[in-house]
């Protein structure tokens, strides 16, 4: 048993937002986050990198340096954390692309019949990088620190635990709903049943920390490699800001040591430099998100070296129910039928993705491959418009965020032309980013296109975010009016039987998209990487974030 470590940590943060359950840090944008900027760190080395022999290491790249390796203080810099730490549970993707929740530091768990209590039986014999034993105390410490650490983020992943709100608000010093049963058993009690809880704690943001080492490191945890320890397959060995980060194999990893001796992660902002370094053999893996203009070049030059996977995110086009004539069902269905989504995917992304038919994208737990298809049918759209009394068409606004990518701007122009073909005059209005966000939040934004990408693998992350209650659908400027459906969405979170829950989500998806035409599902995209011929075993991360798990990768001579 480790020495007692105070769970009070530093002064408790006082947060003003309401508890909403897991998922507020999911991406809502036109492209994945691909790096951050360190704002408060000098460029001095954290360790003497000359002491590390990197011969035989895999070489990868980021387009910008990370801010911290402390996942309780970042919601985007996950490359180091997913390789240095473990979580209680993880997401595993099979060869068919189907995702499931699997054991990690918790080798099994029980869920009470009412869905309120989760008892985790922890894996024994696991060591942190400093040699400390992993025990239940570390889990309790991690959960408490996540809700109290100064500058903390990712609290939404565990704010459904009983007492989380009081701890966030500084009304108590420990998390009521987390109980140490014994050294290797932890009981977690929720405020109310929430079937997405396991998916939430599989997020990198709920990586488990060593209570003793993290407390001793203080503010340097996540900043200084030598004191940033986890149980993961690699140790954080060194960091030279804006130059490179180095990971070294953890020979005592509980799953067995990785084949790679280590990884060098170069910071290379210039995309052409990344391209040239890959072509010259200096980079083993290149994320083609970083070189978007050169994707066709890579796929043509290296057809056998492209590895891809689903992003688990969906691009969607909205229709505001409070704006006439979009309050008419036939008009909304006509808009759905007027947009040739495959043509847009082909034109902008070379067809690298899938047209989506609902709310849940390919790769998400609960994805329904047999749902109703929305066909591109401009003639049918004209008939529906005539039935609605708009045979001569109408004028609508498409709201464009000026900070979005050029690709989004091109997509909106294509949509405008496709709507014009059925008599709808779509006027694209540009907003600066802050005005766009504020107008959307007020519920008054016209139609727009955006992308929602998951950072935890559960249908709740998508459907509850947009249709969980009247406030949620308002702040997305959808203003969906059917409160009975929204009540069903909220109740679905509490369904304990997984088959019943997924069946209800599929039924809700059919109701929202195909019966009520609440939005136009556009497409999900594939995430492409180019790998050198000496790389074996690489698979893209399930979520589509620009991060890589290095554990299963090996290098041939």
CATH number of residue 186's parent domain: 3.40.190.10
* Calpha distance 80→134 (Å, rounded): 20
Cis amide prior to 520 (ω within 30 degrees): no
The region of weakest confidence among 186-195, 287-296, 513-522 is 287-296
CB contact set of 428 (below 8 Å; sequence gap of 6+): 397, 398, 400, 412, 413, 416
CATH of the domain at 521: 3.10.105.10
Question: Both 104 and 123 in a single domain?
Answer: yes
CB contact set of 295 (below 8 Å; sequence gap of 6+): 288, 350, 352, 528
With bands split at pLDDT 50, 70 and 90, how would you rate the model's confidence at 2?
Answer: low
Helices (H), 221-301: 271-279, 295-301
3-class state of residue 81 by DSSP: helix
* Calpha distance 490→232 (Å, rounded): 36
- Strand 449-453 with 424-431, pairing: unpaired
Average pLDDT in the 261-278 region? 96
Going edge to edge, which strands form the sheet with 234-240?
Answer: 58-62, 262-267, 244-249, 234-240
- pLDDT of 146-159, one tens digit each? 999 999 999 999 99
Given phi > 0 = left and psi -120 to 50 = alpha, else beta, which region is 40? alpha
Residue 546's pLDDT is what?
72
Average pLDDT in the 40-64 region? 69
Nearest residue to 214 via CA among 84, 118, 126, 106: 84
- pLDDT of 178-189, one tens digit each? 999 999 999 999
Distances (CA, A) of 25 to 29, 118, 153, 205, 488: 12, 24, 9, 10, 24
**Cβ neighbours of 54 (radius 10 Å):** 17
Average pLDDT in the 96-112 region? 91
Whether residue 64 contacts residue 37, with contact meaning beta carbons closer than 8 Å, is answered with yes
Nearest residue to 195 via CA among 312, 120, 104, 112: 112
295 domain-assigned = no
151 domain-assigned = yes
Question: Both 518 and 541 in a single domain?
Answer: no
Residue 18's pLDDT is what?
37
275 domain-assigned = no
Average pLDDT in the 226-239 region? 97
Residue 400 Cα to chain centre, angstroms: 23
Helix (H) or strand (E) holding 316: strand 313-318
Domain containing residue 337 = 313-526
- pLDDT of 318-369, one tens digit each? 999 999 999 999 999 999 999 999 999 999 999 999 999 999 999 898 999 9
Nearest residue to 249 via CA among 238, 262, 237: 262
Q: How many domains does the chain have?
A: 2
CB contact set of 544 (below 8 Å; sequence gap of 6+): 32, 309, 310, 311, 312, 313, 363, 453, 454, 525, 527
Residue 173 Cα to chain centre, angstroms: 30
With bands split at pLDDT 50, 70 and 90, how would you rate the model's confidence at 6?
Answer: very low
Which of the pair, 48 or 513, is modelled with greater confidence?
513
20 domain-assigned = no
Report the helix count and the strand count for the chain, using DSSP H and E. 16, 21
Average pLDDT in the 31-45 region? 35
Question: Both 145 and 171 in a single domain?
Answer: yes
DSSP code for 511: I
Residue 37's pLDDT is what?
33
Question: Both 394 and 509 in a single domain?
Answer: yes
Residue 119's pLDDT is what?
98
DSSP code for 247: E
Say if residue 109's pLDDT is above 80. Answer: yes
CA-CA-CA-CA torsion for 72, 74, 78, 83, nearest 10 degrees? -30
543 domain-assigned = yes
* Calpha distance 27→546 (Å, rounded): 12
131 domain-assigned = yes
* Calpha distance 225→130 (Å, rounded): 12
Residue 478's pLDDT is what?
98
Residue 252 structure tokens: 């005592």
**Cβ neighbours of 382 (radius 10 Å):** 20
Long-range contacts of 296-301 (CB under 8 A, 24+ apart): 296/350, 298/528, 298/530, 299/350, 299/528
Distances (CA, A) of 69 to 63, 252, 373: 16, 21, 43
Average pLDDT in the 213-234 region? 97
Question: Both 329 and 234 in a single domain?
Answer: no
* Calpha distance 354→236 (Å, rounded): 37
Question: Both 341 and 255 in a single domain?
Answer: no
Residue 44's pLDDT is what?
37
- pLDDT of 506-533, one tens digit each? 999 999 999 999 999 999 999 999 999 9
Q: Which residues of 297-327 are buried (b: 16+ CB within 10 A; e: fewer)?
A: ebbeebeebbebbbbbbbbbbbbbbebebbe
pTM score, whole prediction: 0.87
Say if residue 112's pLDDT is above 70. Answer: yes
Share of the chain above pLDDT 70, in %: 91
Question: Both 119 and 162 in a single domain?
Answer: yes
Question: Both 126 and 80 in a single domain?
Answer: yes
- pLDDT of 18-35, one tens digit each? 344 565 444 455 443 333
305 domain-assigned = no
As a whole number, the mean pLDDT across the chain is 90
Average pLDDT in the 250-272 region? 97
Residue 430's pLDDT is what?
96
With bands split at pLDDT 50, 70 and 90, how would you rate the model's confidence at 290?
Answer: confident
């Amino acid at each position: 048993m480790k020495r007692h470590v105070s769970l009070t940590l530093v002064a408790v943060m006082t947060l003003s937002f309401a508890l909403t359950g897991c998922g507020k840090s999911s991406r809502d944008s036109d492209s994945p986050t691909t790096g951050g900027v360190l704002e408060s760190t000098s460029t001095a080395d954290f360790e003497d990198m000359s002491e590390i022999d990197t011969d035989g290491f895999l070489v990868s790249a980021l387009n910008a340096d990370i801010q911290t390796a402390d996942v309780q203080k970042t919601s985007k810099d996950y490359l180091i954390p997913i390789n240095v730490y473990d979580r209680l549970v993880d997401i595993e993707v099979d060869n068919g692309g189907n995702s499931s929740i699997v054991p990690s530091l918790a080798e099994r768990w029980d869920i009470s019949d009412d869905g309120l209590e989760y008892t985790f039986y922890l894996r024994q014999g696991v060591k942190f990088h400093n040699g400390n034993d992993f025990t239940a105390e570390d889990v309790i410490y991690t959960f408490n620190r996540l809700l109290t650490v100064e500058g903390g983020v990712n609290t939404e992943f565990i704010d459904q635990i009983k007492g989380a709100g009081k701890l966030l608000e500084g009304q108590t010093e420990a998390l009521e709903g987390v109980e140490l049963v014994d050294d290797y058993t932890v009981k977690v009690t929720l405020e109310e049943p929430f079937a997405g809880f396991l998916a939430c704690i599989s997020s990198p943001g709920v990586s488990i920390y060593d209570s003793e080492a993290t407390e001793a490191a203080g503010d340097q945890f996540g900043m200084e490699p030598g004191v940033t320890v986890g149980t993961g397959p690699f140790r954080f060995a060194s960091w030279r800001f804006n130059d490179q980060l180095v990971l070294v194999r953890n020979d005592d990893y509980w799953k067995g040591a990785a084949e790679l001796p280590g990884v060098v992660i170069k910071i290379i902002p210039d995309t052409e430099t990344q391209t040239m370094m890959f072509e010259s053999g200096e980079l083993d893996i290149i994320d083609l998100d970083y070189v978007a203009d050169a994707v066709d070049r890579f796929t043509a030059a290296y057809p056998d070296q492209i590895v891809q996977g689903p992003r688990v995110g969906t691009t969607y086009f909205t229709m505001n129910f409070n704006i006439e004539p979009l309050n008419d069902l036939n008009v909304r269905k006509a808009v759905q039928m007027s947009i040739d989504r495959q043509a847009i995917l082909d034109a902008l992304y070379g067809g690298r993705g899938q047209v989506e038919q609902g709310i849940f994208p390919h790769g998400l737990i609960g994805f329904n491959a047999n749902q109703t298809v929305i066909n591109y049918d401009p003639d049918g759209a004209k008939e529906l418009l005539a039935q609605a009394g708009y045979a001569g068409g109408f004028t609508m606004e498409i709201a464009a965020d000026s900070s979005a990518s050029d690709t989004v701007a091109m997509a909106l122009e294509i949509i405008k032309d496709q709507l014009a073909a059925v008599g709808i005059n779509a006027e694209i209005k540009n907003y600066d980013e802050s005005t766009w966000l504020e107008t959307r939040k007020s519920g008054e934004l016209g139609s727009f296109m955006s992308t929602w990408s998951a950072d935890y693998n559960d249908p709740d992350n998508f459907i509850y975010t947009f249709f969980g209650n009247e406030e949620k659908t308002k702040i997305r400027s959808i203003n969906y009016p059917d409160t009975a459906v929204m009540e069903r969405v909220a109740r679905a979170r509490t369904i304990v039987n997984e088959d019943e829950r997924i069946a209800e989500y599929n039924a809700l998806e059919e109701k929202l998209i195909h019966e009520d035409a609440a939005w136009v599902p556009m497409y999900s995209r594939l995430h492409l990487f180019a790998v050198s011929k000496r790389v074996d075993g690489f698979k893209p991360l399930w979520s589509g974030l620009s991060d890589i798990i290095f554990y299963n990768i090996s290098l041939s001579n």
